[in-house]
Chains A and B, each alone.
Chain A
Amino acid sequence: MIASAGSAQAGEASPERTFEAIAVVDARRLYSLALSILRDEGEAEDAVQETLLKAWRSWGSVAGMERPAAWLTRVCVNHCISRRRMLRSRGWPQLAVIDNTTPAHGDPASDLIDMDRAYRRLSLRQRAAITLNYRHGYSVAECAVFMGCRPGTVRAHLARGLATLRKELGSG
């Protein structure tokens, strides 16, 4: 829910109103994107809110963009990557693996847990590349813009990420 204390005049599209419209439409999309990369609800929430905050602070220029949603995506992706770096530098314990079991394929819940664990083995850039390219359907060139790197780097992240998933899941 968005509340506005502004006094928009009838018939005008105030900056607040246009921002609200964009935020409502994009917040859920950005949250799914951030959650896919970070795999942490709290961090994803932070990423979205800080993305929206940044958008608001730059709304004068963002509102005039041809594709403000793309700008939001780029900011969100970059925020996810930089935020996680900060967390890692705090020395949070890494997950160890007891590799004594054979994944029980076919059980949906078990498959999801296995996939989640395999996915968490990927670097954040690998996750971002797979999420943007595979799930959201962006081209490699578009992914490169969102991630702030070259297309060749995106291809490398995709290839290595998928290879890691295959290895972790024992499917390749």
Chain B
Amino acid sequence: MVDMDPGLDTRLRAFFEHIEASRPPAGLTDIDVAGGDRGRRPIFNVFAGLAAAAVVAASIAAFAIELRSHHNAAPRPAQSGSLLPRFTVHADSRVFVPATYGKGSVTLPAFALGPGEGVYVQVACKSGTAADTVQVGENQRFGSEVAGCSAPAGGHGEWFVTNQGGPNGGSVTTYVTADPAVSWEILITDGPPPILAPPGGRAVRPTAYGMGSGSVPVFTAAETYSIAIDCSGVGSLAISSGLSQDATISCSRYAQFIFTPSGQAPGQPVSLSVVAPSAVGWEVEVFEGDGPVTGSCATLRDGGGLQPTPCVASSP
């Protein structure tokens, strides 16, 4: 075995012990072995439970491993093996501040935003002391605090601000304020984060953005449509389509919501109105085609790492 100086040996041993203390995921050994042809290619399916049942029932396949697909699976919270949660980065996002880590208070390199551009901020933190928060602010508008750094799993937060660039754009400098014992990571990309279409859904109109109360340009859907909303900020957002169902969402930090209004009249123009405090940012996209269950509180998020804030639906 390699020779190691005592200091590094101690720290490396503790590090590996930490890794080995991580519990393997529950599905790691969920293996369904059916007798028969082992040479045939096994079935991989994101709907592994259904697939396995079908395989056994129909006796048509030799072997199935319940394999979680990391590209299509639901968001996965950080597990015990992580020191900090993993950020979500969409492939088409512009990165203003790459995933950056540090301790204590720092000023991050400035970045430029164009007119009307927004930002999407993801922050994670962890401390070995009672120090519990990281504050993130910048020279114009967005400012927030992430708590829970002292918890065993650390803390995390995410939010977006629309029109951060203002009418003329400009340079943005981000300030991170934390106790020297707090380790943090931050990632800032363009925002709001994209709304992902539900399975079978097609966008009826481009995403609309706004801060506070406003309206979404009139659209006409040929089929039944669903409304997807992201919002961020302190307060709640209410959206009305003028039909029989509205939705109210708690936007604390970050929330996502999708619902299908009842009483729709395909082919007729629809106008949506949004009522929210001025500090709440939002984006709305309309999909038609196969949508969610009416009034559901489903999330559209993809990718792993950060769980969106649960939404609250209300139906009149």
**Which residues of B are interface residues toward A (Cβ below 8 A)?**
1-2, 4-5, 7-8, 11-12, 14-16, 18-20, 22, 24-25, 27-35, 38-39, 42, 56, 63, 65, 67-68, 70, 76, 79, 81-84, 86, 89, 91, 95, 98-104, 106, 108, 126-129, 180-181, 183, 185, 187, 304
Q: Can you list 26 A-B contacts (CB < 8 A)?
A: A3-B32, A16-B35, A20-B31, A42-B68, A45-B68, A49-B67, A57-B39, A57-B42, A95-B100, A96-B98, A98-B101, A100-B102, A100-B103, A100-B104, A110-B127, A110-B181, A111-B14, A112-B15, A115-B12, A117-B101, A130-B2, A133-B1, A165-B8, A171-B5, A171-B8, A172-B8
Measured CA separation A135–B98 after assembly (Å): 32
Interface status of A169 (Cβ within 8 A of chain B): yes
Instruction: With A4-B33, A104-B181 as known contacts, state yes or no: A110 contacts B128, CB within 8 Å.
Output: yes
Tell me the interface secondary structure of chain A in the complex: helix
A-B CB pair tally, cutoff 8 Å: 185
Proximity string of chain A (29-40) to chain B, C-beta cutoff 8 Å, 1 when within and 0 when not:
001100110011
**A residues less than 8 Å from B185 (CB atoms):** 95
Q: What is the interface residue range for chain A against chain B?
A: 35 or more
Task: For the complex of A and B, list the 9 residue pairs with the smallest distance between their C-beta atoms, beginning with the closest.
Answer: A109-B128, A6-B35, A98-B102, A5-B34, A101-B103, A107-B128, A115-B15, A16-B33, A31-B24
Interface status of A71 (Cβ within 8 A of chain B): no
Do A166 and B8 touch (CB < 8 A)? yes
Extra contacts besides A36-B19, A42-B304 (4): CB < 8 Å? A4-B35, A6-B34, A96-B98, A158-B2
Do B83 and A116 touch (CB < 8 A)? yes
Measured CA separation A60–B37 after assembly (Å): 11
CB interface residues, A 32-81, toward B, < 8 Å: 32, 35-36, 39-46, 48-49, 52-53, 56-57, 59-60
Task: Among B15, B29, B56, B89, point to the contact of A119 (Cβ < 8 A).
Answer: B15
Measured CA separation A31–B11 after assembly (Å): 21
Within the complex, the shortest CB–CB distance from A68 to chain B, in Å, comes to 15
Measured CA separation A53–B31 after assembly (Å): 10
**B residues less than 8 Å from A89 (CB atoms):** none
Do B11 and A111 touch (CB < 8 A)? yes
Do A112 and B83 touch (CB < 8 A)? yes
